[in-house]
Amino acid sequence: MKHFSFLFLIILTACSTPQAERGQIRENVVSSDRFHVKYATGFRISVVDEGIMLDIPKPYANASKGLRYLLTEQRPAKAPDNTTIIEVPVQSIVCTSTTHLPLLEYIGMSQRLVGFPDTDLIFSPVFRKEVEKDKIKDLGNGQSINPEHVLSLSPDLIMAYTMSNNNEFDKLEKLGIPTLMNVDYLENHPLGRAEWIKVAGLLFGRYAEADSVFRAIEAEYLRVAALVQPGGECVFSGSLYGDTWFMPGGESFAARLLADAGYDYAWKETRQTGALQLSFESVFDQARECTYWISPFGFTDMAGLTAADERYGAFEAWKKGKVYAFDARLSDTGSNDYMEQGYLRADIVLKDLVKIRREDLLPEYSLYFYRKLE
């Protein structure tokens, strides 16, 4: 996704504010079935006289105030209060997360990307070719992108993310480059994360294409989920980071995927949407007999697990060799396709998880993102 730090990955497996003032927007806001948002909670779409209003109720976890964007083909004479104007269709964009990239690629807008922080993290062959042609500029490391580099590109828009109210993009916004906060990482339903492609569709004038992509992903996800029965084999996830085991909460994105794949997640009864912070002992007490261990972050083989901590070898899943990681698709530059496509292609992630425990349900399917640790 953004960058492969363990703590950031934990946040990703996790998490309404009062509506922003309407300002100069006239009150005849209408809803439209065309712009129906079915699973995502991180954005709302409404039709206004001046264009499309896009509301982001929670631009980061625990935010007390939302953000509002007016997507319009013609900038109004007076900007509405508390509203960022984005002129559409966007002709050039800077993205700051690998999860943003498929949103462009799947609607045929790859060529609109002009800058990205740390281009080595890009997996997509389509974007990699553009990087090699120097059509996508490397803007530095992480969120600390070089503002001078961004200004030199003069993008129409920056698609960004933030973990707090400290908006590092304020300077660029004051210089006339709007920033749209993408909070796909706060969605707790896998299809809610995939539904963010609709936002990209609005930005680039490709909503019909985006909606078509989403509907195909949704249909396949629901088809596969209907194949399984709930309450299957016990499963747990994660691994130690220092002395703390970060385990997805029972209402998190990861827990929903495991449930839809038919697993009996050992922490399904917890109500957290973010990560639980547990001791090794508490995890071992609850998960020692679990059949499957999914996503022990940072390990490439079974020997590496016990080399890091010999206690890992006492789990039944380790003894049975049923440990799986999502690093099956890595590039020469170290990028991981799961961290790029994984948010959008919830259907593929679900098929992987179903295939791991029930090969008979998907006999012609081969694991895509996941692989068994040897």
Is residue 24's pLDDT more than 80?
A: no
Mean pLDDT score of the chain, rounded to an integer? 90
Joined together, the tokens standing for residue 10 give: 């934990």
Is residue 348's pLDDT more than 50?
A: yes
Q: Please report the pLDDT score of residue 170 as a whole number.
A: 83
Q: How are strands ordered across the β-sheet holding 323-325?
A: 264-265, 234-237, 292-294, 323-325, 371-372
SS (H, E, C) 89-133: CCCCEEECCHHHHHHHHCCCCHHHEEEECCHHHCCCHHHHHHHHC
Is residue 172's pLDDT more than 60?
A: yes
**Class of residue 328 by CB neighbours under 10 A (exposed 0-12, middle 13-18, buried 19+):** middle
Is residue 13's pLDDT more than 50?
A: no
Q: Which DSSP symbol is given to 196?
A: T
For 61-74, how does the pLDDT look when each residue is reduced to its tens digit (9 = 90+)?
Answer: 999 999 999 999 99
Are the folds of 6-221 and 228-372 the same?
Answer: yes
Q: Please report the pLDDT score of residue 135 as a whole number.
A: 97
Q: Please report the pLDDT score of residue 169 as a whole number.
A: 83
In the structure, what pLDDT confidence band is assigned to residue 32 with cuts at 50, 70 and 90? low
Find the mean pLDDT for residues 88-97.
Answer: 97
Q: Per CATH, the architecture of 6-221 is what?
A: 3-Layer(aba) Sandwich (3.40)
Least confident span in 60-64, 235-239, 344-348: 60-64
Cα distances from 365 to residues 316, 336, 354, 358, 360, in angstroms, run 27, 21, 10, 11, 10
Quick one: what percent of the chain has pLDDT higher than 70? Answer: 90
Q: Region of 336 please: left (phi>0), alpha (psi -120 to 50) or beta.
A: beta
Least confident span in 163-172, 211-220, 227-236, 358-367: 163-172
Q: Please report the pLDDT score of residue 17 as a whole number.
A: 31
Find the mean pLDDT for residues 308-313.
Answer: 98
For 100-144, how does the pLDDT look when each residue is reduced to its tens digit (9 = 90+)?
Answer: 999 999 999 999 999 999 999 999 999 999 999 999 999 987 657
Find the mean pLDDT for residues 297-303.
Answer: 93
User: Where along the chain do its domains lie?
Assistant: 6-221, 228-372
Find the mean pLDDT for residues 29-45.
Answer: 81
In the structure, what pLDDT confidence band is assigned to residue 23 with cuts at 50, 70 and 90? very low
| Closest alpha carbon to 66 in 45, 46, 42, 88 | 42
Is residue 199's pLDDT more than 70?
A: yes
Cα distances from 81 to residues 69, 152, 167, 254, in angstroms, run 11, 29, 19, 38
| Closest alpha carbon to 151 in 118, 174, 182 | 174
Q: Please report the pLDDT score of residue 243 as a whole number.
A: 96
Is residue 20's pLDDT more than 60?
A: no
In the structure, what pLDDT confidence band is assigned to residue 34 with cuts at 50, 70 and 90? confident
Pairing of strands 157-160, 93-95: parallel
Q: Please report the pLDDT score of residue 325 as a whole number.
A: 98
3-state SS class at 312: helix
Adjacent-strand bridge partners of 71? 52, 86
Question: Which alpha helices (H) appear in the chain, and where do they start and end?
Answer: 6-12, 101-105, 125-132, 147-153, 170-174, 190-194, 197-204, 207-225, 253-260, 280-287, 302-308, 316-320, 338-341, 346-357
Is residue 152's pLDDT more than 70?
A: yes
Q: Please report the pLDDT score of residue 30 as a whole number.
A: 39
Quick one: what percent of the chain has pLDDT higher than 90? Answer: 81
Q: Which DSSP symbol is given to 353?
A: H
Q: In whole angstroms, what is the distance from residue 327 CA to residue 335 CA? A: 9
| Whether CATH 3.90.25.10 fits 228-372 | no
Is residue 3's pLDDT more than 80?
A: no
Q: Please report the pLDDT score of residue 79 as a whole number.
A: 79
In the structure, what pLDDT confidence band is assigned to residue 288 with cuts at 50, 70 and 90? very high
